[in-house]
A and B are shown apart, each in its own frame.
Chain A
C-alpha cells in the first residue's frame, strides 16, 4: 500500500469548507459513484489522507446537525446525503471493499464467499493457517499468535500491492476478481486471528 502522500495545504481547505456553509443539497448529484462523490480518481491506489479530508468536508456540509432548525424536506435530504457519504467513505476506506466496489463498477462478478470454487492449493494453505491459529489459541500462546498475525499482515500487504497492479496498471479484471476472492478468505482469517488474540489476553 502506498503511504498517504501529497503535501497537505491545510489553511485554504479549512477556509473553503467553512465558507461553503450554505450547502445546496438539491443541486448535488445523488447518482455519482463513490470516487466522483469525493472528487477522487476512479482507481484502487488511493490517497488515504485526501479521502479522509474530503469525507470530513462533505459531512460538514450535509450532516443533519447542520440542519437542526431547517424544514422537514431539507432535513430528510440531509439525512439521505449524510447516510450516502458515510456509505461511500466506508466502502472506499478499506482496500478490500474498495477493490470489490471497483469490480462492481466494471460489472465484473466477484461472487460471494459461499459459492466460488477456489484452487485446491489455496484452500490447503488456508486450512494450514487456520489450524496453526487454532493450535496457538488452544495452547494460549499469545506470542505465537502475534507472530502469525505479523506474517499474515505481511502477506496481505503484498497481495494488495499485486491487486493494485492488476486493477490500475494492467486492467486485468478477471485476475483481479480472483485475487479479491482470495483476499476475502484471508481477511476473514485475520479477524479470527484478532479474536484469538483477544481471547488469549482475557484468559
Chain B
C-alpha cells in the first residue's frame, strides 16, 4: 500500500505530519531500536548493518566511553571498566545482586542503588544505561532524519517501581522523552499477535539475559488484554553461563581465578551455551594466565543437568500467573518464546512439556520485543492509521498497598489489576486527638512492610481532633495507563486533603540527574571513590603489620620457600598500597591472606600446644578427655 502513495514534489504523502517515535528494547545482553516506517515496523541498523547493540559500555581514562561491539571486544582485557549486563543492577543495591562477588566490577553501595568504580569515575547503572540509550537515539535520529518525539522503552514485566524509575531516569539522561515503559512480553505479544492475526489466550515465555517474565494475554479482535504477569527479575541466560562457569572450575579443578581469567572463562561458558543450541556437544578450551590449559567438552546432557534447577525455577511463576488469570494449561492456545535464552533446548523442552504443545518460535526472539515497542510508540505518538486499530489493556505487575499499624501491609490494588484503575479504602485515627496521619505507600506481595518496597511517604495534616477511631480518612489510589500511581488522602468530615504522585524515593532525584550530567562533562573524581581507596589503603597497612609481627615471632614455622613466598606477597601488597588502584590493593591483600593461611594455622597449633603443655589430661574438659583416654591410659 505504501508504494501507491505517490506525492507531488514538495507535498507530503501523509495527510498529517508523521511524528518520529521509536521502540527500544534495552536488554541485559543486547539492545535494539525499531520504528514504524510506511506502516511497517523495522529494526534500525548501525552503519555496518548490524541490528543489535551489545549492552556493554567500556569507560576510558579520559572520561569517554565505547558502547556495543567495540566495548564487548575489550571486555576480557579490561573487565573492570567494560560494564556488561548493567540491567541487572538497575534500581538495586549490592545485597540484591546474586553472585556479585564473582563479578569483575568494583561495587560501592549508594543510596538506593549501587555504583561502580571505573577509570572514568564512579558510575551508576542509570548512567551506564543512558550511554547505551544515547547511542540508540543517535542511530534513530540519523536514520529518521530528525528529533524524536519520544520512545517506548521495554522493561521486564516483573520490574518493580525502583527498576522502572531507574529506566526512566536513564532515558531522561540520554535525552529521550519516554512515551511509556512497556512490558517486554506484552511487546512481544503485540508483535506476534499483529503479525499472525492471533485470537485466543497466549502465554509469552520470555527468558532474557538477566530476567525471566511470563505473561498470559487474551487476544481478541485487535485488543491485547494482559490477564496476568509474573516472573523473576534476577533469573536469566547469565545464570546459565554462570552454571557452566562453575562446572568448568569444578571439572578442571581450578584454583581461585584472577579477574581476567574468570572473565575469559565466563566468555567461553557463554560461547559453549550458544554452541549447544545447534550442536550436541561444545568444546571449551582456554589458556589461563598461569599457563594452565583448560580443555573440556560440555554435552547437552550435562548442561541440562547442571541447569535443571534454573529451568524449574521459571515454572513456579508460570503456574502462579496461570492461577492469577484463572486459567488452566489446557486453555492456553499458544506459547510464544521470547529472549535469546529460550534457544536453549532444555528450556524449549520444559516449556513444551508443561504446556503440552510445541512452543512458537517463528519470530526472531531477539527482535520481537523491539518491533512490538515500535508499534506501540507509533500509536502513542499519534500516528494511528486506518486499519491500525488495536489496543493494549495492561496490568500492574505487583500489588500496591499501605502500611498499617504494626508494620503490616494493607493491599489496596492487587497485582494484575487492569490499568487504569482506582481503589479507595477508609482508615481511621489510632489515638484520641490525633491531628495528623502518616501515609506510607508500598509495593509487593508480602505481609510485612519490611519485606516490600517502599514507594513514598506523605502526611495528612489538619485532621480535627476527635476520639480515636472517629475520623474517617479515605485513601484513594489511582494508577493511570502509564502505570503512574497517585495517592490521595482525605478526611471525610472536615475535607482536609493531601496527595502525592509517587516517584520512588530510591530512584534518582532530579538534582542527582542534573549532577550526573555535569559530572559527565567535567569528569570530577568522586569523593566516595577516594574514601574507598583510602579505606583499602588503611586495611592493607593493618594486614601488613599483622603479618610482619607474626613473622617476627614465629618465622621458624615456615620452610625457606614458604617464607620467600610470604615475603614476596608482602612486597606486592606494599607496592599496591602506594598506587591508587583499590582493586589491585584488594587483590594483593587476598594473595597475602592466601599465602599466610597455613602459617596462621601452624601458629594456632603452636599456641594451643603451648597452652596444653605440662597439664594433666584430667584437667582438660571431659569431651576432649573422652576421645583421648585410650592413648594416654
Are B391 and A83 in contact (CB-based, < 8 A)?
A: no
What chain B residues lie within 8 Å of A64 (beta carbons)? 420, 480-481
In the complex, which residue of chain B has the Cβ closest to the Cβ of A82? Answer: B420
Are A14 and B221 in contact (CB-based, < 8 A)?
A: yes
Q: Shortest Cβ distance from A46 into chain B, in angstroms? A: 16
In the complex, which residue of chain A has the Cβ closest to the Cβ of B323? Answer: A194
Are A65 and B420 in contact (CB-based, < 8 A)?
A: no
What chain B residues lie within 8 Å of A89 (beta carbons)? 418
Are B382 and A68 in contact (CB-based, < 8 A)?
A: yes
Q: Shortest Cβ distance from A26 into chain B, in angstroms? A: 18
Are A59 and B481 in contact (CB-based, < 8 A)?
A: no
Are B421 and A83 in contact (CB-based, < 8 A)?
A: yes
CB proximity to B under 8 Å, residues A9-51: 10, 14, 18, 21
Are A60 and B481 in contact (CB-based, < 8 A)?
A: no
Candidates A52, A63, A87, A202; contact of B481 at CB < 8 Å: A63
Q: Shortest Cβ distance from B275 into chain A, in angstroms? A: 33
Measured CA separation A135–B389 after assembly (Å): 53
B360 at the interface (CB under 8 A from A): no
Candidates B225, B319, B419; contact of A201 at CB < 8 Å: B319
A156 at the interface (CB under 8 A from B): no
What chain A residues lie within 8 Å of B418 (beta carbons)? 86, 89-90
Q: Shortest Cβ distance from B396 into chain A, in angstroms? A: 12
Are A79 and B480 in contact (CB-based, < 8 A)?
A: yes
What chain A residues lie within 8 Å of B225 (beta carbons)? 56
What chain A residues lie within 8 Å of B422 (beta carbons)? 83, 87
What chain B residues lie within 8 Å of A82 (beta carbons)? 420, 481
What chain A residues lie within 8 Å of B179 (beta carbons)? 68
Measured CA separation A86–B389 after assembly (Å): 20
A159 at the interface (CB under 8 A from B): no
Are A21 and B223 in contact (CB-based, < 8 A)?
A: no
CB proximity to B under 8 Å, residues A84-142: 86-87, 89-90
Q: How many inter-chain residue pairs (CB < 8 Å) link A and B? A: 61
Are A202 and B316 in contact (CB-based, < 8 A)?
A: yes
Are B319 and A198 in contact (CB-based, < 8 A)?
A: yes
Are A59 and B319 in contact (CB-based, < 8 A)?
A: no
Are B316 and A56 in contact (CB-based, < 8 A)?
A: no
What chain A residues lie within 8 Å of B379 (beta carbons)? 65, 68
Are A86 and B316 in contact (CB-based, < 8 A)?
A: no
Are A83 and B382 in contact (CB-based, < 8 A)?
A: no
Measured CA separation A88–B418 after assembly (Å): 12
Measured CA separation A93–B267 after assembly (Å): 51
B551 at the interface (CB under 8 A from A): no
Measured CA separation A21–B387 after assembly (Å): 12
Q: How large, as a class, is the contact surface on chain B?
A: 20 to 34
Are B478 and A83 in contact (CB-based, < 8 A)?
A: yes
B 11-30 to A, binary, CB cutoff 8 A, 1 in contact else 0: 00000000000000000000
Q: Shortest Cβ distance from B421 into chain A, in angstroms? A: 5
Measured CA separation A65–B379 after assembly (Å): 8
Measured CA separation A69–B382 after assembly (Å): 6
Are B421 and A66 in contact (CB-based, < 8 A)?
A: no
A 163-203 to B, binary, CB cutoff 8 A, 1 in contact else 0: 00000000000000000000000000000001000100110
What chain A residues lie within 8 Å of B419 (beta carbons)? 86
CB proximity to B under 8 Å, residues A60-83: 60, 63-66, 68-69, 79, 82-83
Are B392 and A56 in contact (CB-based, < 8 A)?
A: no
Are B391 and A60 in contact (CB-based, < 8 A)?
A: yes
B381 at the interface (CB under 8 A from A): yes
CB proximity to A under 8 Å, residues B289-341: 316, 319-320, 323
B543 at the interface (CB under 8 A from A): no
Are B221 and A83 in contact (CB-based, < 8 A)?
A: no
Are B319 and A63 in contact (CB-based, < 8 A)?
A: no
What chain B residues lie within 8 Å of A65 (beta carbons)? 379-380, 391-392, 481
What chain B residues lie within 8 Å of A68 (beta carbons)? 179, 379-382
B350 at the interface (CB under 8 A from A): no
Q: Shortest Cβ distance from A15 into chain B, in angstroms? A: 11
What chain B residues lie within 8 Å of A87 (beta carbons)? 421-422
Candidates B316, B323, B420; contact of A83 at CB < 8 Å: B420
Are A21 and B389 in contact (CB-based, < 8 A)?
A: yes
In the complex, which residue of chain B has the Cβ closest to the Cβ of A69? Answer: B382
In the complex, which residue of chain B has the Cβ closest to the Cβ of A14? Answer: B221
Q: Shortest Cβ distance from B457 into chain A, in angstroms? A: 25
B 213-234 to A, binary, CB cutoff 8 A, 1 in contact else 0: 0000000111101000000000
B393 at the interface (CB under 8 A from A): yes
Measured CA separation A65–B420 after assembly (Å): 11
B 391-417 to A, binary, CB cutoff 8 A, 1 in contact else 0: 111000000000000000000000001
What chain B residues lie within 8 Å of A66 (beta carbons)? 391
Measured CA separation A59–B420 after assembly (Å): 11
A 145-169 to B, binary, CB cutoff 8 A, 1 in contact else 0: 0000000000000000000000000
Q: Shortest Cβ distance from A140 into chain B, in angstroms? A: 17
CB proximity to A under 8 Å, residues B218-267: 220-223, 225
CB proximity to A under 8 Å, residues B475-508: 478, 480-481
Are A79 and B421 in contact (CB-based, < 8 A)?
A: no
Are B323 and A59 in contact (CB-based, < 8 A)?
A: no
Measured CA separation A69–B481 after assembly (Å): 14
Measured CA separation A14–B390 after assembly (Å): 12
Measured CA separation A202–B478 after assembly (Å): 34
Are A56 and B323 in contact (CB-based, < 8 A)?
A: no
Measured CA separation A63–B380 after assembly (Å): 12
Q: Shortest Cβ distance from A141 into chain B, in angstroms? A: 18
Are B391 and A63 in contact (CB-based, < 8 A)?
A: yes
Measured CA separation A168–B340 after assembly (Å): 54
Measured CA separation A90–B319 after assembly (Å): 22
Measured CA separation A86–B414 after assembly (Å): 14
In the complex, which residue of chain B has the Cβ closest to the Cβ of A89? Answer: B418
Measured CA separation A124–B418 after assembly (Å): 38
Contacts A14-B221, A79-B481, A82-B481 given: A198-B323 contact, CB under 8 Å?
yes
Q: Shortest Cβ distance from B134 into chain A, in angstroms? A: 25
Are B220 and A56 in contact (CB-based, < 8 A)?
A: yes
Are A56 and B382 in contact (CB-based, < 8 A)?
A: no
What chain B residues lie within 8 Å of A69 (beta carbons)? 381-382
Contacts A64-B481, A68-B382, A83-B422 given: A59-B221 contact, CB under 8 Å?
no
Measured CA separation A194–B325 after assembly (Å): 13
Measured CA separation A160–B481 after assembly (Å): 34
Measured CA separation A52–B219 after assembly (Å): 12
A residues whose Cβ falls under 8 Å from a Cβ of B: 10, 14, 18, 21, 52, 56, 59-60, 63-66, 68-69, 79, 82-83, 86-87, 89-90, 194, 198, 201-202
Q: Lowest 10 A-B CB distances belong to which pairs?
A: A69-B382, A64-B481, A83-B420, A68-B380, A83-B422, A82-B420, A56-B223, A86-B418, A60-B391, A86-B421
A-B contact pairs, 24 of them (CB 8 A): A14-B221, A56-B220, A56-B223, A56-B225, A59-B393, A60-B389, A63-B481, A64-B420, A64-B480, A64-B481, A65-B379, A65-B392, A65-B481, A68-B379, A69-B382, A82-B481, A83-B421, A83-B478, A86-B418, A86-B420, A87-B421, A90-B418, A194-B323, A198-B319
B residues whose Cβ falls under 8 Å from a Cβ of A: 179, 220-223, 225, 316, 319-320, 323, 379-382, 389, 391-393, 417-422, 478, 480-481
| 6 other A-B residue contacts (CB within 8 Å) besides A18-B389, A56-B220, A201-B316 | A21-B389, A59-B391, A63-B481, A68-B382, A69-B381, A89-B418
